[in-house]
Each structure stands twice: as C-alpha cells, then as structure tokens.
Structure 1
Amino acid sequence: MIRIGTRASALAMSQTGTVAESIAAASGQPTELVEITTEGDTSRQSLSSLGGTGVFATALREALLDGRCDMIVHSLKDLPTADAPGLVVTGIPRREDARDALCARDGLTLDTLPPGARVGTGSPRRVAQLKARRPDLEVVDIRGNVDTRLGKVSSGELDAVVLAAAGLTRLGRLDAVTEYCGLDGWPSAPGQGALAIETRANPDPELKKAIARIDHAPTRLNVTAEREVLRILEAGCAAPIGAHAIVDDGLLFLSARVYHPDGSSHVTSSHALYVADHPKPADTVAANVASELLSLGAADIAPVGGAA
C-alpha cells in the first residue's frame, strides 16, 4: 500500500486522487490518501499576512518525515523554492492550464465589469494585475475553497473572482469561467497548473520508479525555470511576480514580470536559449531573466532581493 499525503480540500483531494490513480497504474500497488490539515487550511488570515510561502506545505512535509505517508502531493505554486531537508521533489506530472480565469456574474469580462465592481482574490500578484488593468475596481481580499469563492459571486457579495484555471478544470467548474487571462499580458504564478510529488530523500526504489513513469520532463523544465526566478530574487510564492516558460522547437522561452503591489508599475524580462546548448538550461535562462529584472529596478518596486 502506497500512502499519499494530501490536504483535505476538494481541490487537493481531486488532484491527489488523479496522481494516486497514475501511481497505482505505474506501480501495480494500491494507494491510500492520507488527509493532512495545514496552517493554510485552519487560519482565516490572508495568505500574504501568513507569509504565503509554505503555509500549505509544512504540515504535509512533517507527515512525510515522520512516516505517516510515503509521498505527498503539492500544488507546485504553493511550494517554497528552498529544498526541505531530507525531502526531494521526485516527480512533476504533466502541467494543466497555467492561466488565471475570471469568474464573473452575468458573463462579464475584465473590460466589461462596471466601474467600482468588487473583485475577489487572495493573491498579491492578482491584486496588482487587477489594479494595473482596471484601477477603478474594488479588489477584495478573500479566502476559502473554490466553491466558497464562487459562491460569493452567485450570492451577489462580489461581482467576480479570479481563480486558477487548473483548479477549475480539476473540479469540473469551467462553466463558471467568463474570461481566460492570456499569459502574455497576465503572467500567472511560477509553477501554476503543475503538481509536485515529494518523497523522502531515499524513497523505496519501486515507488521511485513508479513516480518516474509519470514525471513529465517538459513540465519539469518549464516550472524549474519559473521558480528559479523566484529563488534568485528571494521572493516568496505570495510575491507580486508572474512568470511563464515554454519549450518550443528546442528553445526554452522564459518571461517574468514584477509588479508594484498597487499595480502602478511593473518591469518585464524575457529570454530564450537552446536547451541542448546548456547543462542547466532552466537555471541559466532564469539567471538571465532575474539579472535583467534587477537591473530594471525590480527591487525598487516590489519586495524582492538577491543578486543574479
């Protein structure tokens, strides 16, 4: 029996259940989901006030280290960029849609929302993006699961919410989407749409083989580049930073944008390189992007640090 640790939210259970099915098929062994309660699940404070990084990961990692489970599944965008002692990200399955999605009343879009419309999000990045695009909107800090957030729109408490398209896909709630936010103009969180499978540093060899069978190399390359920008900038997963990478015809393209928290300004950097020409292409392209962001004044407009 392979025990898989997960948060108990509907979204976490859905995405972990999908991984469990794949692991069962790859290993030929039954799986069991082990529900873990995290600080991010119990606290009603905003994610930014909690510090963002790690509030959903710490309890899962403790359960893995103390042997309550054999592997854990994270939403990669919630995972700190620093490695956890004794643990390793063993697999990253194929990524789901990386975009954000607007879910608004009456089929409204970002451009057709009326002046003063109330839009909910718990993400500092999305706050900055909303204020940059529509400074006339009232952006409301919200917490809660996907159904709770969507319920605030259907009840009339909010005019719209911004959510990850991947989560809506996994929950079968794409019917709520009124507009998808294009990644060129609205880069999403580094790693958004991807899952991370974490194990102890020396997992059971058969489990390691099973995870390797569902690891998706292009996704791993892309999200590694995106998250490396965060690491170099010393910015947490709640920082107002968007990034997106793709591999096309042997080229790794990475673009990242750092926003002022109030949306009044931003800086952007984009670089590309041939994967075959570099021993660590994700690290190299991320270093180029981060260096340019810092030279453009990223540290002056957002809470980031570091040197490329």
Structure 2
Amino acid sequence: MTARPIRLGTRRSALARTQSGLIADRLRELTGREVELVNVTTEGDTNRAPLTSMGGAGVFVSAVRGALTDGTVDVVVHSLKDLPTTPEPGIRLAAVPRRADPRDALVSAGGKKLVELPAGAVIGTGSPRRHAQLKALGLGFDVVDIRGNVETRMGYVTSGRLDAVVLAMAGLERLGKQADITEKIDPINMLPAPGQGALAVETRDESGGAVDDELVRALAEIDDADTRSATTAERAVLAETGAGCSAPLGALAEIVEDEDGPALSLRAALCPEESIDDGDVVRLSVQGGVADADRLGRELAIELLDRLSIGEKTNDQEREA
C-alpha cells in the first residue's frame, strides 16, 4: 500500500513557496513519500497596512497554523522571525533547519553602499528595527515605510521611487537574487531580527490530533542543533522584552570557540518605539554556555530594559532642568 502524501502548508508568496519547497525536497528524500504544497492565504498577505497596526508579524502565521490544527495539512513552514514566542497549544516546533545568512542586505540604485548614499537618500523598509538602526548610523537618511513581497520592494528602487531598500539576505539568496545585493550589511551596523535567516517547521503534537511518527522522525533529522541554540537565545531576548515580532529589536547569536570549547555569543540592540526616528539604540552583548541559550537571552533582555529605563530617567531629568 502506497503511503499517503505529506501535505505541507505554506503562504502563497514566491519566497514562502521557495522556502517550503526546500523542506519538501528534504522530506521526500528522508521518507520516500510525495509532498504536496498547500497554499494558505494569511492576513499579512492581503492587508497592506503597517504590521504594527495588525499586531506584528504573527499575522503571517495564524492562518497557516490554523490549517495545521484543523487537519488540512500535516506540517507547516514559517520564517522563524515571523513566529510568535508564545507556544501554541497542540503544535510543536519540530525542526529548525540549518540557518541561511542572517544578515540584512542593501539593494540600492547605482550599486551604492550605505556610506556612499548621500544625506537625504530615501530608504524603504517595513521594519521598525531596520528603521531605528538606519537612523542610528547618523548618515541623514530619510527612512520610509513600505510593504509588499521582495519583488515589489525591489521595484521601488528600479522605478526610481526610492534610493534603496533593506531586505533579508536569506530571502534574496533563496530567490536567486544575489546579483541585486549591493551590500551585505555588517551586524555591527545592523543586527538582524531574532531568528532571521532560519526556518521553523511545525507539526501537531499529541494534544493536537493524530501524529505522523514517520514525519516527526524525518523532521528530527532536519533539525540543526547549533541553529536551534542560537535562535533560542535570540527569541528569548524577544520574549523577555515583550517587544513583539515587529518591534525595533535586533539580536544575533553565534556559536564560537573559546578556551573551554563551543560557546554562545549573543548581541542585541533595542530602541524605544517612540524614539525610532531619533536612532536611540541600546546595544549589549554576552557570552556563555550553549546549553544556557534561553537564560542568556533573558538576562541580556533584562539588562537592555534596565539601560533603556536609565536612559529615559536621564532624559526626563534633563528636560526638568
């Protein structure tokens, strides 16, 4: 008897389908079963309002998860940076595959890098995090809010409406658009969103309905321990700050070698939402054991919030004086 196909739920965008296709190919290899992509339309795909007004990047996730919990699909794939940090009942994060390049990328007119763009250059992004860190560079950019898929955003540059846009390196590479990248932005200048460049593969757990054991075993093989540890630390910063998926928070964790062996190095940057245009970004870093990823992220988040609180008090005192 032929095993039934695995139904994989995905958003309809070209990037989402490309990312889901990567997981589908691996599942075919590991299980020998056919994998069908099932398109799911989300609010984030149809509503062009700013993400912050719709509750953040989680609007890309809820409908896809709904198809999983109601049994329409067996497995779903998300960009990990879109995934809320609060666990969803009945669903397990079954795999975090090896991460692609987590950095942000500049796509600009004339191939200019950030330092080559003139003061007043208009740069588009739908991310408050990118907005705040662009302003923090102090180069006098005019940062404007844009929405749309990768092609739409890049079209703002080719049409001459914008001087540049900032997009995720991983998405551009997965779509084969490496040649359009004019600068791979150093994390020293712009830390990525927590989980950027990584994928999240979810299935039902025992409380959410019937579990496909063969599928779960295959996904365990796809899971990458280093990527899961790094993104666990980054998402712990996000969870502890209560910042939300679309907040002006950047975080990047990397597995490095120290004198005692592998260690986790974590950097984070946070800006008060009311100060995005001012570029008031607080940056901190920490290093510790790989097994302590969640704790390191939460402790760094608490320190970030403390630093912001001190800064706000100082500003209030200056205004009073």
TM-score, with structure 1 as normaliser: 0.93
Cα shift readout 1:221-257 (whole Å, capped 9, x = no counterpart): 0001000111011110111010000111211111111
Deviation of the 1:295 alpha carbon = 2.1
DSSP-derived class of the 1:210 partner: helix
Which residue of structure 1 lines up, in the alignment, with residue 239 of structure 2? 231
After superposition, where does 1:11-26 map in structure 2 within 5 Å? 11-26=15-30
1:273 counterpart = 2:273: no
Distance (Å, rounded) in 1 between the aligned partners of 2:309 and 2:246:
16
| 1:109, distance to aligned residue in structure 2 (A) | 1.1
Secondary structure of the corresponding residue to residue 80 of structure 1:
coil
Give distance in 2, aligned partners of 1:63 and 1:298: 41
Per-residue deviation, 1:117: 1.4
Matching residue of 2:254 = 246
Aligned to 2:180: 176
Counterparts of 1:130 and 1:294, CA distance in 2:
21
- SS of the equivalent of 1:55 reads helix
Distance 2:74 2:310 in 1: 40
Matched, 1:258 2:270: yes
TM-score by length of structure 2 reads: 0.90
In 1, Cα distance between equivalents of 2:213 and 2:128 = 40
Match of 1:305 in 2: none
**Aligned position for 1:128:** 132
Residue 145 (structure 1) aligned with residue 149 (structure 2) = yes
For structure 1, which segment, 12-21 or 137-146, has the greater mean C-alpha deviation from structure 2 after superposition? 137-146
Which of 286, 302, 305 lines up with 2:297 in the alignment?
286
1:69 is paired with a residue whose SS is coil
Equivalent pairs counted in the alignment come to 297
Q: Is the 8 A contact 2:134 2:279 kept in 1?
A: no
Confirm or deny: 8 A CA contact 1:24 1:30 kept in the other structure.
Answer: yes
State the one-letter code of the partner of 2:300: V
Gaps of 5+ in 1: 302-308
AA matched with 1:206 = E
**SS state at 1:162 partner:** strand
CA distance in 1 between counterparts of 2:119 and 2:288 reads 43
Task: Find the aligned partners of 1:221 and 1:238 in 2 and give their Cα distance.
Answer: 22
Contact in 2 for aligned 1:226/1:286 (Cα 8 Å): yes
The percentage of counterpart residues that share the same residue type is: 51
1:296 is displaced (CA, Å) by 1.1
* Deviation, structure 1 residue 115: 2.1
Specify the structure having the higher radius of gyration (Cα).
Answer: 2
On the 8 A contact 1:101/1:163 being kept in 2, the answer is: yes
Structure 2 SS opposite 1:222: helix
Alignment pair present for 1:40 and 2:55 = no
Is the 2:119–2:139 contact (alpha carbons within 8 Å) kept by the matching residues of 1?
A: no
Report the counterpart of residue 197 of structure 2 in structure 1: 193
Find the partner of 2:14 among 5, 10, 13: 10
Secondary structure of 2:100's counterpart equals coil
Q: CA RMSD in A?
A: 1.4
Q: Partners in 1 of 2:152 and 2:309 — Cα distance?
A: 34
Cα gap change, 1:299/1:140 in structure 2, threshold over 3 Å: closer, same or farther?
farther
